Amino acid sequence: MTRMDFTHVNAANQPTMVDVGQKAPTRRLARAHCRVVLGAELLGRVRAGELPSHKGPVMHTAILAGIMGAKKTADLIPLCHPLGLDDCQITIEPDGPDALRVVCTAVVTGRTGVEMEALTGASVAALTIYDMCKAFSHDITITGVQLIEKTGGKRDFLRSTNS
Amino acid sequence: MTRMDFTHVNAANQPTMVDVGQKAPTRRLARAHCRVVLGAELLGRVRAGELPSHKGPVMHTAILAGIMGAKKTADLIPLCHPLGLDDCQITIEPDGPDALRVVCTAVVTGRTGVEMEALTGASVAALTIYDMCKAFSHDITITGVQLIEKTGGKRDFLRSTNS
Amino acid sequence: MTRMDFTHVNAANQPTMVDVGQKAPTRRLARAHCRVVLGAELLGRVRAGELPSHKGPVMHTAILAGIMGAKKTADLIPLCHPLGLDDCQITIEPDGPDALRVVCTAVVTGRTGVEMEALTGASVAALTIYDMCKAFSHDITITGVQLIEKTGGKRDFLRSTNS
Amino acid sequence: MTRMDFTHVNAANQPTMVDVGQKAPTRRLARAHCRVVLGAELLGRVRAGELPSHKGPVMHTAILAGIMGAKKTADLIPLCHPLGLDDCQITIEPDGPDALRVVCTAVVTGRTGVEMEALTGASVAALTIYDMCKAFSHDITITGVQLIEKTGGKRDFLRSTNS
Amino acid sequence: MTRMDFTHVNAANQPTMVDVGQKAPTRRLARAHCRVVLGAELLGRVRAGELPSHKGPVMHTAILAGIMGAKKTADLIPLCHPLGLDDCQITIEPDGPDALRVVCTAVVTGRTGVEMEALTGASVAALTIYDMCKAFSHDITITGVQLIEKTGGKRDFLRSTNS
Amino acid sequence: MTRMDFTHVNAANQPTMVDVGQKAPTRRLARAHCRVVLGAELLGRVRAGELPSHKGPVMHTAILAGIMGAKKTADLIPLCHPLGLDDCQITIEPDGPDALRVVCTAVVTGRTGVEMEALTGASVAALTIYDMCKAFSHDITITGVQLIEKTGGKRDFLRSTNS
C-alpha cells in the first residue's frame, strides 16, 4: 500500500492530473444524491410555498444553482478535467417528515467520468436550499452526499439501497 | 406562517436578493464543518501519505480548493451577495477511525454574514477529498455539513456539541 | 469635440479604466429595462405555465440568471470596476399583447455607479427568456434595453416616460 | 398547447436541460445582430476616434468583450450546454445616422446549436459600447437583438430582410 | 529561520490566508512591469500595424486582457484576497530594438496590497501579446516580471533603476 | 510584410478569432517553462519547508494554481479557443543557487494547440510562488517564460537547449 496509488498524487508526492487522452470517448452517466435535513417545521414552510404541480422558488432556485454548479465543476475541483455536459438533471423531493432529497444526474460523451459533476451539482443545490432557508434556522444539515450510480466507464457502480 | 417569510422569496413568490445596504459594516465570522467518511482502509492510505508535520497533497489540495471555493460563493449560490473575505481558514483532521473532519472559518468586514462562504468552503474541500480518493472506492460519504458558529451579525449562533 | 472626452479612452487612444478612488462611497441605484417581444402565441404559452401568484420556471429562471449576470458585470464589461452589490431585483411582467418587460434594479454602496450592472442584469434575463422559448420560434426580439433611473452619483437621471 | 412543450421545463414544471448526447456532432453556425442607437452626435464622436482602416478602441473593446462574452454563454444562461467554439467573429459598423450595428457569428462542431452564443456575444459587445459612451449620455438604446441565421442543426433559419 | 515565517503557510505547514480584517483601509498602489522579447522582425510587424496615435489591435487586445486579468487575480492566485480595484492602467511601449515593455498599475482602497494584481495584469497582457504573435514565431520570451513600485501599505517599495 | 499576416487581426485591423473547425482533432502537446529568481536566501527558506520526498505547501500551492490557471486560459486570453484538456502536469524544481524552474505540460485531443495553456499554467504557478514569498522580499523576478516543445499540430517545435 503505497502513496503512489493515488491517481492524483505522483511519485514525488505532488498533486497531478490524470491523462485521459488515450481513453475512447464513451457515453458516461453519474448520479449522486444528498439529503437536506430541515426539520419538520421548516420543511412545512418550504412545501407550503410549492403547489403540487408548480415547483416554487426554493426548489427552482436550488435546481438551477445545482445545474450551473455542475457546469463549474472543473473550476472548483482542482484536478478535474474540463468537459462539456450532454445533460444535467436535478430533482428535489421531500424525503421523510423533515428533509428534502436532492438527486443530480450528469451525462457526458467523453473520456472521463462525471462523478464529480453529479456530486458537485447535488452539493450546490443543497447549499442553495440552505441559503434560502437560513433566515429561519441554522438547524439545517446537509448529509449523505454520495454517488449512487455510474455507467459508461471502466467499471459500472450501483449503490445498494441499504448502504 | 406565510410564504413571504422567506427572505429570498418576495410577495409575488419570485426569488429575490435581500437589500443589505442599510446595515452597518461589522466584523463577521462564520465557521462550518463536515465529515468525509472514507472507511478505515482508505483513511489509512490518506494518512500514510501525510507526514506528521507536513500535510501531504490530499489535504493541501482540499484546503486550497476549499479556500478558492469560498471565494466563489457568490458565483455559486444565486442570491448570495458578492463580498470580499478578510480571511478564510480550513483545517482537515482525522475524526475517528474512518473519517476526516473539515472545518472552514470565513471572516469578513461587511454588511452581511459569511455562513454560505464557510459552508461552501467546507463542501468544496470535502468534494476535493472525494475526487482524490475516488479511484480507490466510491464508498465515500460527505455528511454533517453544518454551521457551527457565527458572530458579528444580528444574532450570534453557537452549535451545542451534542447536536 | 476630441476623442479624449471618452472616459474609457486615454490621450494615446488606448482603452483605460477610470480611477474612482477619490470618490466617496455613496448609496447608488440604477434601474434598467428591456422588452422581449415573443409574439402573442408564444407569450400565451409562457403565461399558461405561470399561475397568477406563483411565477413559473421561465420567469424564475430568467430572474435568477439576470441576478447572477449582474454579479458578473465586471467580468463581462472590460473596463467596469469590480464591486459588491447591496441588492439586485428583477421583475418580469407581460407588456402588451406580445411581449414581456424586464426591469432590473441594482444598488451598491460604493464609489461608482451600477448602470452597467442593471443593464447587464436585464439583458441576461432577456437572453434567458429567449433561450427557454427558442424551441418554439426564433421570431423573438430583445428591444429597448435602456437605463430608466439612476441616483446617488454626480448626476441623477430619470427617463421621461415618452422617450 | 401544454406547458410541457417547453424544452427547458419538464412535466413537473421544473427547469431542465435538454440531453444532447444522442445527436451527432455537426458543424453549426449561428449569426445574431443588434443595434446600439447612440444619437447622431455621440455616433460622430465614436467615429471621430476611429480611422478608416484602423478601428479604434471603442469598437475594439466591444469586439473583444463580445467574443469573451460568447465564450461565457454557458456560465450566463442557466440551461445552456457548455461547448467549445470553433470560431467567433464580431463586426461593428455604422448603421444609419445615429446607430452602430453589431453582428456576431458563432461556429461550433458539436451536438447543439450556438444561437445563444451569437446572441450573447452581440449583447455583450453592445453593452460594452454603452459602457464606453455613457459618460456622454444615457440616451442610448440597445435594440433589435435577433437571430439572423442558423445552419447545421435540425432546421436551418434565415431571417428575411424585412422582418 | 523557520518555515513559519511564510505568511501563507501556518505552523502545521498548511497553506493559509492572512487575516487582513484588523488593518485599516488605505489607498494602495502597486506597479509591475515585464518585457516581451519578440525579436526585431516581429516587433517591426507589430509596430507596422500600430499608427503613431492610434494603438492597434495587438496592444489594445493585450491592454484589455491585462486589465481583465488583474480583476481575476483572486480567482487565479489561491491565497489572494478578493478585492475591488479603484483603477488599473496598462501601458505597452517598444523597449529597445526587439521588445515591448508592459507596465501595469493597480490601485485599491483596501486592507491589503495589490502587488499580485499588478503582476498578474502585466503577465496576462504579455501572454496575450504572445498569443497574437505566435503564428509568426515561438522565439518569444516573457522576461523581467517584477514589482517596480508599491505605496500605501506598511512598507513602501521602489525598485532602483539598475536592478 | 503586411498587417494582415497576424492570424488574430483581420483585414479591417480588428481583433479576430481563427476558425479551427476545418482542422482534424489530433493529440497535441505543448510544454513551457519559466524561472522564478528568488535569491539564495529565499530559495533556502522555500527548500527548508520542503522535505525531499514530500513537496511542501509553496510548491504544492503553485502546482495547483498553475493547473487551475491552465484550465482558465480561454477566459484570460481573449482570442483563445475554449478547449478541454486531457492532461496538465506542472513540475517545480530548484534551478541553480537562487531560482526555481517551473515546467508546465498541457495535452489536448483537439483542433488547436495548447501553447497558451502551457504558458499560462507556468506563469500562474510562478505568480503563486511570488505571492507566497513576497512577505520576505520583492526582489523576485519571473523570467524566461518560453515555449520549449510543441507536437501534434501543423509544425512541431523543440527549443534548442542553448536558446
Q: Tell me: the pLDDT tens digits for E56-103? A: 689 999 999 999 999 999 999 999 999 899 999 999 999 999 999 999
Choices 3.40.190.10, 3.10.100.10, 3.30.70.640, 2.40.37.10: CATH for E24-152: 3.30.70.640
Cell reading at E47: 509596430
pLDDT score recorded for residue A26:
94
Q: If you count DSSP H runs as helices and E runs as strands, how many of each does chain C have, helices first?
A: 4, 5
- State which residues of chain B have pLDDT below 70: 1-5, 50-56, 162-163
CATH of domain A24-158: 3.30.70.640
State how far the Cα of D142 lies from the Cα of D123, in Å rounded to an integer: 8
**F92 contacts in chain B (CB < 8 Å):** none
Tell me, which fold does domain C23-151 have in CATH? Alpha-Beta Plaits (3.30.70)
Q: What is the DSSP letter of E3?
A: G
At D4, is the pLDDT very low, low, confident or very high (cuts 50, 70, 90)?
very low
Judge whether B95 counts as a catalytic residue.
no
Architecture field, domain D24-151: 2-Layer Sandwich (3.30)
The per-residue pLDDT for range D67-83, each reduced to its tens digit, is 999 999 999 999 999 98
F60 touches chain B (CB under 8 A): yes
Contacts of E107 in chain C (CB under 8 A): 19, 21
Nearest CA in chain F to A82: F84
Distance from CA of D15 to the nearest CA of A (A): 7
Task: Please state the rounded mean pLDDT for residues C93-116.
Answer: 96
- CA distances to A91, B43, E55, E68, E86 from D104, rounded to whole Å, are 36, 52, 24, 21, 32
Instruction: Show residues of chain E in contact with C17, CB under 8 Å.
Output: 67, 85, 87-89
Instruction: Specify the pLDDT at position C148.
Output: 97
Q: How many CB atoms lie within 10 A of CB A53?
A: 10
Q: Does the beta-carbon distance from B82 to C85 stay under 8 Å? A: yes
**Partner D contacted by E56 (CB < 8 A):** yes
E60 interaction partners in chain D (CB closer than 8 Å): 57, 60-61, 64
Residue pair E89/E29 in contact (Cβ under 8 Å)? The answer is no
Is C74 part of the contact surface with chain B (CB cutoff 8 Å)? no
Distance of alpha carbon E34 from alpha carbon F63, whole angstroms = 22
Q: What is the mean pLDDT of residues F85-91?
A: 96
**More confident of the two residues C2 and D17:** D17
CATH number for region B25-152:
3.30.70.640
B91 touches chain E (CB under 8 A): yes
Summarize the confidence of residues C37-60 as an average pLDDT: 80
Active-site residue, selected from the candidate residues B86, B95, B98, B131:
B131
Cβ pair C55:A51 closer than 8 A: no
Chain position carrying cell 502513496: A3
Q: What DSSP line would sit under F51-114, residue for residue?
A: -SSS--HHHHHHHHHHHHHHHTHHHHSTTPPP---SEEEEEEEE-SSSEEEEEEEEEEEESS--
Query: How many CB pairs below 8 Å do chains D and F form together?
Result: 53
pLDDT band at D22 (very low <50, low <70, confident <90, very high): confident
Could you tell me which chain B residue has the CA closest to the CA of C104?
A: B16
Residues D34-60 have pLDDT tens digits of 999 999 999 998 888 765 444 568 999
User: Which element (helix H / strand E) includes B141?
Assistant: strand B141-151
A145 touches chain C (CB under 8 A): no
The pLDDT of residue A162 = 53
More confident residue, F15 or D62: D62
| Residue D86 Cα, gap to closest chain F Cα (Å) | 5
F88: left (phi over 0), alpha (psi -120 to 50) or beta: beta
Catalytic-role residue among A95, A131, A139, A156: A131
N- to C-terminal Cα distance for chain A?
26
Would you call B84 an interface residue with chain E, using a CB distance cutoff of 8 Å?
yes
What is the average pLDDT across F141-149? 98
pLDDT tier at C134, thresholds 50, 70, 90? very high
Closest residue in chain A to residue B116, using alpha carbons only:
A131
Overall residue count recorded for chain F in this entry: 163
**Nearest residue on chain C to B76, alpha-carbon basis:** C68
Each residue's pLDDT, cut to its tens digit, for chain A (163 residues) gives 344 467 888 877 788 899 998 888 999 999 999 999 999 999 998 888 765 444 568 999 999 999 999 999 999 999 999 989 999 999 999 999 999 999 999 999 999 999 999 999 999 999 999 999 999 999 999 999 999 999 999 889 999 875 4
Inter-chain touch E75–B68, beta carbons under 8 Å: yes
Measured CA to CA, the distance from residue B96 to residue D158 in angstroms comes to: 65
Give CA–CA dist A155/C104, Å, rounded: 48
Question: pLDDT value at position E5?
Answer: 64
In this predicted structure, what is the pLDDT of residue B5?
Answer: 64
Decide if C72 touches A, using CB distance below 8 A.
no
Chain E residues with CB inside 8 Å of C16's CB?
Answer: 89
Mutate one of D58, D61, D72, D131 to test the E interface: name it (highest E CB count within 10 A).
D61
Looking up cell 483605460 gives: C16
Per-residue pLDDT at E55: 54
Residue closest to B51 by CA, chosen among F49, A17, F59: F49
Domain positions in chain D are 24-151
Residue E162 has what pLDDT? 53
Q: Cell 436550499 identifies what position? A: A129
The pLDDT confidence band at residue D2, using thresholds 50, 70 and 90, is very low
CB F58 within 8 A of CB A72: no
Question: What is the Cα A103 distance to its own chain's centre?
Answer: 7
